[in-house]
Amino acid sequence: MALDVADLRAFYGSPLGQVALRFIAPIIRERWENCAGLSMMGLGYGPPYLGAFKDQALRLLAFMPAEQGVVNWPAEGASSSALVDSSMLPLPDSSIDRVLLVHALEVTDHPQDMLEEIWRVLTPGGRMIAVVPNRGGVWARFDRTPFGHGLPYSRSQLRDLLRETQFLPVHWAEALYVPPFARPYLLSLGAAFERIGRRLALPGSGVHLVEATKQLYRPIAVRRSMRKVLPQLIPAPAAIAVRVSDYEDAGTPDGVGDSGSSADPSR
């Protein structure tokens, strides 16, 4: 079931949502430290994470799926948000350098269509970061947060999905080792949970963060090379057909046995 934009906004305004933002956003910022002059797009509910790039990116878009709903963003100035069909983005081919996918992949009914559309709008060498609930994590088991909705993924499932849609994973990270409970003493220990979980690479993180790059293939060149290798069927000229029939009418040459001829019984 799709998330509602009002619930997403309320979550990131809560103490638990601020903790999630505190531990996820620095990983994204570390991977995309310098985005000056680049075009960026968020798909799903990206405003809490996209704000760090407002003064840096050449173009910044916050696309939100139609089934989720949309809010105006940013609060001041021209709006950069839009309601879209995630399988038919209103962008030309190869027009976006960076795509942030958050609260999107796990709730769509057609994840392959979504990723194929993102592949289309990414520039050659473009990058995508997907923030996806961990199938083995605690956050995916409680629907009190947005990360507890939809279909969570294991790392292997996510890797296979990316490869099927021509993305190459280049970096993996995990976040949200802190339990998803809005209790002040647990939230105050959030930094300790994250530090220990990442240092020991413990299982059970709340989300996977995977950075993937767009893979480029040349299907036209492949087809051309195949045509050179495969045998070609060329019709025989009519003159050759006549000579073959003449040869058959002339009978069997001397010295060549004919299985259809009668044998002398005396021999």
Q: In this structure, which topology does domain 5-219 adopt according to CATH? A: Rossmann fold (3.40.50)
Q: Are strands 207-214 and 122-133 parallel, antiparallel or unpaired?
A: antiparallel
Tokens, residue 143: 């629907």
CB 172 within 8 Å of CB 208: yes
Write the CA distances from 146 to 64, 98, 104, 196, 261, integer angstroms.
15, 23, 10, 24, 88
At 159-200, the pLDDT tens digits run 999 999 999 999 999 999 999 988 888 888 889 999 999 998
d(CA 4, CA 24): 21
Structure confidence by residue, pLDDT tens digits, 80-126: 999 999 999 999 999 999 999 999 999 999 999 999 999 999 999 99
* Domain ranges across the chain: 5-219, 220-249
User: Cβ contacts of residue 160 below 8 Å, gap of 6+?
Assistant: none
Cα 81 from Cα 65, distance rounded (Å)? 11
Q: Label residue 162 left, alpha or beta by phi (over 0 means left) and psi (-120 to 50 means alpha).
A: alpha
The span from the CA of 68 to the CA of 83, in Å, is: 9
Q: Which helix (H) or strand (E) holds 156?
A: helix 155-164
pLDDT tens, position by position, 193-250:
999 999 988 889 999 999 999 988 644 433 333 344 444 445 555 554 444 445 445 4
